[in-house]
Amino acid sequence: MTVLNIGIVGCAGRMGRALLAAVHDAPDSHIAGGTDVAESGWVGRDLGEVLGREAIGLAVGDDARALFTVADAVIDFTSPKATVLHARLAAETRTVWVLGTTGTSAAGDAAVADAATKTAVVRAANMSVGVNLLIGLARKAAAALDTEFDAEILEFHHKHKVDAPSGTALALGAAIADARGQDHDKVKVLGRHGVTGERRRGEIGYAVLRGGNVIGDHTVVFAGESERIELVHRAGSRDIFARGALRAAHWAHGKPPGLYGMADVLGLTD
């Protein structure tokens, strides 16, 4: 069994803690370290304290470069602002980079693509096994139904989420558009308000809900004449994303440079 040294950037956040716990508890993984921003108040404190457990002898740091240097893989669910820096570090150190951050800018996307020419990068809007199966099912349904059925996507997340629609919702819409031979950017409707007129054939509509501590619900609706198909995924714990990210890190270790997705990790590609 190969044991990977895995680092977590943003280790004191909601997802960071879930990732730390997953790595700590996995027999084939070892915590290489964790970083967070100084303003969090966690820098210098033991990672075990972040987990609410006994000390493990590693302190939360604020030097991402040092973490990328010592880790076999780094898992990143931080912020779009940090993506360019982390992409550069992944490229320089040739460290496997598992990226779950959504809402990145064009510059961030370009930096990710560049990093993927130097190392293995697994990027996914959502790393749960169930969600990636949902994306595959949505793609198959869209190909079979085409634009005879109207496609709508509803997503519901906790009140702290800062981007909308969610990256997962957009990934679902992109899969539907691709299956129907459409340009997603030309057919997506990110919100409706006021007198909008009739729905145009081929649109992919989005609706967004925010509130409470909802981890993430996604519903894809295909609405036709006198019938409706709904595909639903509800996340009950952030552990599902952490487990998927950890699986991606192990899968990518030893892979050649390239930009991979969870479909590759899970063997869902055609």
| 81 noted as active-site residue | no
Over its length of 270 residues, how does the chain's per-residue pLDDT go in tens digits? 789 999 999 999 989 999 999 999 999 999 999 999 999 999 999 999 999 999 999 999 999 999 999 999 999 999 999 999 999 999 999 999 999 998 899 999 999 999 999 999 999 988 998 999 999 999 999 999 999 999 999 999 999 998 999 999 999 999 999 999 999 999 999 999 999 999 999 999 999 999 999 999 999 999 999 999 999 999 999 899 999 999 999 999 999 999 999 989 988 876
Instruction: Write the CB contacts of 124 (distance below 8 Å, at least 6 apart in sequence).
Output: 99, 100, 132, 171, 244, 248, 261, 262
d(CA 134, CA 245): 17
Q: Which of 86, 157, 188, 218 is catalytic?
A: 157
Q: Which of 30, 161, 184, 255 is catalytic?
A: 161
3-state helix, strand and coil shares in percent for the chain, rounded to the nearest 5:
40, 25, 35
Burial track 238-258 (b if 16+ CB lie within 10 A, e otherwise): bbbbbbbbbbbbbbbeeeeee
| 218 noted as active-site residue | no
pTM for the model stands at 0.81
DSSP 59: B
Question: What are the CA-CA distances from residue 10 to residues 15, 67, 83, 173, 243 (Å)?
Answer: 8, 12, 12, 28, 17
Residue ranges of domains in the chain, CATH in brackets: 4-123+238-265 (3.40.50.720), 129-235 (3.30.360.10)
Strands of 188-189's sheet in order across: 188-189, 204-210, 150-157, 216-224, 227-235
